Structure 1
Amino acid sequence: MDRRHFLAAAAANTALAVTPSAFAAETLEGKATRVAGKGVQLEWNAKSARAAIYVSTDPAAPRRAMRQVKTGVTGGQIEIPAEIAPRPYYLLAADGRETRVAERLLPLQGGRNFRDLGGYRAAGGRQVRWGKIYRSGVMSGLTNGDLDYLSKLGVKVICDLRNPRERQDEPSPLLKANVPEVVAFDYDMNASMALLATARTREQAIDVFAMAYLQFLETLTPNYTDLFARLAAGEAPLAFNCSAGKDRTGMASALILSVLGVARETVVADYALTQVYTPPSLYKAQMAQAGRVSGGGLTAEQARAFAQMPPEVLDIIMGSDPAVMRKALAQVDDRFGGPVALAKARFGLTDARIASIRGAYLA
């Protein structure tokens, strides 16, 4: 099966909203999911309302500049013919309310968990802008077609959060191009990996994984500081990645969304999406067949050690269980006063920079 078709099927099985509160009566919410063939499934919560649908290749296009593709649609869903490129961005309008939606998972042939952070609701009902901030796993499998697709999205910078060994083992093909710029910092992850190996039960796995996430805040301080500096300077569209696109990248996403004012449960739900697109079973199968994990950031020796873990522990380590991020962020609350206070204390943000970031990436 084409990887894009597999991922489209996985995305179609996710909930329409990422949090129970996201579908408050006064807020129109929706999602767009690539379906097999040349189409996008649009879904929204105002099922009884008559909705109008507009499309543009510009994520920030005003409604008057967008093309109307359907009007008077009821039932809360419709499939729209749509090519993969140029990337379509939709505006749904119903009963005087509007929301912008796009495919969260980019339809890349060789991508791993490459998705857009746009569309999430922030304080005051504003949305994170689509097409500005992307998160991903390892990019070594990107095809020439994928690279062309990303080029047309205008991605300026890739913040590679991987350590030197990972970057050497699975180099980014983007290093061969002048654009986008690929930025990385050297560090050692052995302490965090050793911590994960101590877990023997599911509860212990959640605890040590959350502790490892707190360690990332120390180990990756230069990475996260640089990432926020680039966002504040307007160097977007921007993407950041690690190997699996769930742990170091997951903490970066949680920090960014929190700084933008996105609700905690939405932040956690975004983290949990990774195990929809790259489930633990994928990594387990790789370890069983080859004794290593492609794109998982593990050495062959580490993969063999992890393969000996109890299944319930491995599901946590190789997944993105919401309990891990909830615990990690609760510890951030206790130690630093929350993600925003942490970003100001450690990653170079100020109130003025936060206001600038929100102005640039919220609509």
Structure 2
Amino acid sequence: MPAWVDLEGAVNVRDLGGLPLEGGGVTASGVLIRADNLQDLTPSDVVTLVDELGVRVVVDLRSHIEVDTEGPGPLTGRVDVHHRSLYPEKGSFSDVMISRADGENPFVRYYLGYLRDRPDSFVGAMRDIASGPGPVVVHCAAGKDRTGMVVALTLAAVGVEREAIIADYALTGERITAIMDRLRSSDLYRPDLEGITDESRMPRAEYLERVLEVIDAEHGGAASWLAAHGFDPAPLYKRLVSAA
């Protein structure tokens, strides 16, 4: 089970080491960390991430509007921050508001939309993770939807067991109240969350199960999808698995 990283200014942070692989073995610890918004990190949090854990690269999946409005965060200048928005940079600026849609579940449609709209950001994030150095932190606002998709694709591409990928996604549910409290405290996200319950934002296993089913059926799996977009998963595997 991934290890929670307890910080004062972020509530959904965990190291993705120790996940079981198809055929045996586990993912390496100290390589990939997922997180929610890093804007409120305290000086002590920065010491934990940079000096103690050795983080040198952050993949920020927030949109440019989110970054411009809230600022780049206290890790700027201490680590390399790569902005990899999963939006086409027009229209909606964040994923805190999920609209209704016919057909697939709205969350499933959003997740598949990330793949459709920004394959370049997925590939860029994979390259960031594969090249390191040190632990790489991937985050968005809640650390649930955009982060969940990048992490799920990464784990699937290196052969993590499907059940473990989905379990990690659902694990964010343990922190959903704290996540929603953080978002509601932000002038940027609060208006879109009026009348929205914590329960409605739970990461449900069936959402990611369906997304991965579609990727398998239409693209032959995560590794094939990445290869079709110009990324060889081999360096990612070497970094996240061979280092274990």
TM-score by length of 1: 0.59
Q: Which residue of 2 aligns with 1:4?
A: none
Offset from partner CA, 1:281-324 (integer Å, 9 cap, x none): 862x67xxxxx7246x96444223xx1x6x6xx634x2211111
Q: Alpha-carbon deviation of 1:144?
A: 0.2
Matches within 5 A, 1:269-348: 269-279=167-177, 283=180, 293-294=184-185, 299-304=189-194, 307=195, 315-316=199-200, 318-346=201-229, 348=230
Q: Which residue of 2 aligns with 1:174?
A: 75
How far apart in 1 are the matches of 2:122 and 2:97?
22
Choose between structure 1 and 2 for higher RCO, CA contacts under 8 A separated by at least 6 residues: 2
| 2:131 maps to which of 233, 241, 255 | 233
8 Å Cα contact 2:49-2:55 kept in structure 1: yes
Q: Which residue of 2 aligns with 1:183?
A: 82
How far apart in 2 are the matches of 1:213 and 1:339?
14
Q: Alpha-carbon deviation of 1:168?
A: 2.5
Are 2:227 and 1:349 equivalent residues in the alignment?
no
How far apart in 2 are the matches of 1:332 and 1:270?
18
Are 2:98 and 1:196 equivalent residues in the alignment?
yes
Q: Alpha-carbon deviation of 1:154?
A: 1.2
Amino acid corresponding to residue 151 of structure 2 in structure 1: S
8 Å Cα contact 1:115-1:135 kept in structure 2: yes
Offset from partner CA, 1:13-34 (integer Å, 9 cap, x none): xxxxxxxxxxxxxxxxxx6xxx
Matches within 5 A, 1:238-257: 238-257=136-155
8 Å Cα contact 1:157-1:238 kept in structure 2: yes
How far apart in 2 are the matches of 1:185 and 1:230?
10
Q: Which residue of 1 aligns with 2:25?
A: 126
8 Å Cα contact 1:120-1:128 kept in structure 2: yes
Q: Which residue of 2 aligns with 1:84?
A: none
- Please, what is the CA RMSD of the aligned residues? 2.8
Report the count of equivalent residues: 237
Unaligned runs of 5+ in 2: none
SS at match of 1:128: coil
- Segments of 4+ moved more than 6 angstroms: none
Unaligned runs of 5+ in 1: 1-30, 32-102, 287-291
Matches within 5 A, 1:26-175: 104-152=3-51, 153-171=53-71, 172-175=73-76
Higher normalized strand content (fraction of residues) = 1
How far apart in 2 are the matches of 1:327 and 1:343?
18
